[in-house]
Amino acid sequence: MRVESSDIREMKLFMYYRLVRKWACKTYSIKDADLELLIYLDCKVRFTRNDFKVGAKTYSWDKHRWERLRNAGWIVVWRERNRTTQKYTIYTVSTKAKHLISRIYRILLAEEDIPTSERSVFSKLDSYSDKVYSSSVDDMIKDAER
């Protein structure tokens, strides 16, 4: 079965995308561009450093992005290079990244709600934008057509 653009519109899949993305970035201390790049790389399943560079071209230039994602455990080695038969190392997104991306999909499909407990980083109302996002989360949860 092929998914049509009208199907996605009827599902209202991207209606709350920005809010869910902001929640994920704040909760997991990751930048917006890094999260979107991880989603791109997750779709590739396994990738090389060159694939990463190709995917990163559409985002703002950040020479520390690769090391930051590797050190934080978002990208892991799938197969090491051995200089004879494997010419380059192959990477994959980590289990942590796969769980985050799956959770984002579940929230967008309304299978799960954004957590609103007191422990949630997103529920701390330190600034005006935090209050606006909190209000938006409440509206999203109350949306019966979601």
Is the model's pLDDT at 125 over the cut of 80? no
- Phi then psi for residue 128, to 5 deg, are -60, -45
Residue 81: the pLDDT is 79
Residue 90: the pLDDT is 94
Is the model's pLDDT at 21 over the cut of 90? yes
Mean pLDDT of 17-40: 95
Could you say which architecture CATH assigns to the domain 15-140? Orthogonal Bundle (1.10)
Judge contact between 40 and 33, C-beta under 8 A: no
Nearest to 96 by CA among 140, 144, 38: 38
State the chain's mean pLDDT as an integer: 90
Higher-confidence position of 126 and 122: 126
Residue 89: the pLDDT is 92
Is the model's pLDDT at 104 over the cut of 90? yes
Please report how the helices 32-44 and 49-56 are oriented relative to each other, as an axis angle in degrees rounded to 10.
130
What's the one-letter identity of residue 49? R
- Domain chopping of the chain, boundaries: 15-140
- pTM for the model stands at 0.86
Mean pLDDT of 54-81: 93
What are the residues whose beta carbons fall under 8 Å from the beta carbon of 111, sequence distance 6 or more?
none
Is the model's pLDDT at 101 over the cut of 90? yes
Higher-confidence position of 50 and 127: 50
